[in-house]
Amino acid sequence: MPVTDDFRFNVTQDILSLGIRVRCLLIVGLDNLYEDSVFEQYRKEELAKIKATLSEGSIQADPVLSGFREMHKRIGKTGKRWTSSPENLKRMLLESQTLVAINKVVSIYNLVSLKSSLALGAHDLDKIVGNVTLRLTTGTEKFWPIGAKEPEKVSQGEYAYCDDANDVICRMEVRQVEKTKVLPHTKNIFFIVQGNQNTSDEEISHASGELARLITDCAGGRCIAL
């Protein structure tokens, strides 16, 4: 889709009772092709700080991560398969002591997610059909997880970010999709910064600001708040 002022992000009323707090933004005209040496040094330093205090106990006690687990219980999605993306990132860092750098944009939003415990996502805006709505699923949606060989069925009553083609682009805050994954040539991105009942508007605003600053400093582009 062309980048226009007509793009909208919507949240349905029934989502609010789950405790989801979310802020979304667009960054358009960025350059994701090349690494930024200054950011890479900053990333290494910040990962070292996070690792120094990271443990299984700190993951279990983190109130934001606990908030995601509570939201999942409300919709009957419990167990390892439904671990939130920030908890998965922290466990990956704890177990492997590093994070693979996929590309510049992914490295930036993963770092902000690790620091804040919020769930961050990025989607190629040019692959999204129409607008994006955060809503409860009906079970009719199309969902092709990132890295998967084939689509998966989505059950009724989950929450998901869906475009106007009825494609899930993010299932809960657990899995993103092949359709909108961010690649080195991606120029225009729809970003999600999501928390839960245990996060304040200030925390989400701070993380959104840090994300926008790092992306525009390291990759250029213009930020549009939604």
* CATH code, domain carrying 31: 3.50.40
Task: Specify burial of residue 45 (Cβ count, 10 A radius: 0-12, 13-18, 19+).
Answer: exposed
In the chain, how many domains are there? 1
Q: Check the CA dihedral 87-88-89-92 and report its sign.
A: positive
Residue 53: which domain range? 9-133+176-225
Q: Is residue 221 part of a domain?
A: yes
Q: Is residue 153 part of a domain?
A: no
* pTM, 2 dp: 0.95
Residue 70 inside a domain? The answer is: yes
Q: What is the pLDDT of residues 53-70, one digit of tens each?
A: 999 999 999 999 999 999
What is the per-residue pLDDT across 163-192, written as a single tens digit (0 to 9) for each?
Answer: 999 999 999 999 999 999 999 999 999 999
In a domain, 161, yes or no: no
Torsion of the alpha carbons at 58, 196, 153 and 7, rounded to the nearest 10: -130
Residue range 202-217: average pLDDT?
Answer: 98
CB 168 within 8 A of CB 4: no
Quick one: pLDDT at residue 4?
57
23 within some domain: yes
Average pLDDT over residues 203-216: 98
Question: Does any domain span residue 75?
Answer: yes
**What are the φ and ψ backbone dihedral angles of 115, each rounded to 5 degrees?**
-70, -35
pLDDT tens-place string over residues 81-134: 999 999 999 999 999 877 878 899 999 999 999 999 999 999 999 999 999 999
Q: Looking at the domain assignment, is residue 170 inside a domain?
A: no
Domain-located, residue 91 = yes
